[in-house]
Structures are given as C-alpha cells and as structure tokens.
Amino acid sequence: MTGGPSGLAGGREPRKVEAAGGSGVRLGHWPAFAVFLAAFSFLSSVVSLAFWGQTAGMAWRGLQTRDRLQRPLTFRQAALRWAGGLLTFATAGLPLLLTLGGASLSDWMSRSVTYSSSGAARR
C-alpha cells in the first residue's frame, strides 16, 4: 500500500504549474489536454475545410483551398491536409523547406492548392 493521504508513495503531491491567477494545473493532466487540443484542431480544421473550403483564419485573409481541379476538398483530403500541418508542427517546421519548390507538405499530401479570393493560386 502506498503511503500518505494523496495515495502517492511518500505522500508527495504531483508538481503544479502556477498560472498568473494563482490556479494550479497539474502536470499529470497533459495527456488529456493534448487529446483535447488534437480533437479540437481536427474538428475545426477538417470540418470547415470540407464544408466551406476555408478555415476562419483563411476567410479572414481571403484564401480558399481547393483540389487541383478547383473542386471542394473531400473529408479525406481535408484530413490529410490537417495531418500534414500536424507533421510540420511536430518536426519544428522542417517540411517548410519543401515550399521552396512550390507546394507545402499539406498541399502535397492532400493534393490541394490554396487560392486567394481573386482566384490566383498561392504557392
């Protein structure tokens, strides 16, 4: 049996990170927070790209994403585009070196192109 009132060996509390307001967030909660962030980013990105062809930020900047034949993205293409963005983030932006040749990793994986509102392709 573990000792202490908290159920941990030696009765030690897990480390806390103190926010500016004084509320503590336990470091042991990061897996749940990471799953929440991944699910939220997946849903907000994939659903908006598949239905409207743009995310909120893309609408603000006047951009749209279409496939290479200028058709709306399918859910599969939108999910592949999200996965490419996640891979770019996970590798600290290293795949951005591919953009020197034209398309980003997300564009390459989903076979999509980003257009401005005026219709010119952005590469």
Please write the tens of the pLDDT for every residue from 37-62.
999 999 999 999 999 999 999 999 99
> What is the model's pTM?
0.70
Cβ atoms of 122 and 114 closer than 8 Å: yes
- pLDDT beyond 90 at 75: yes
Cβ atoms of 107 and 101 closer than 8 Å: no
The alpha carbons of the chain give a radius of gyration, in whole angstroms, of 21
The Cα 76–Cα 78 span in angstroms is 5
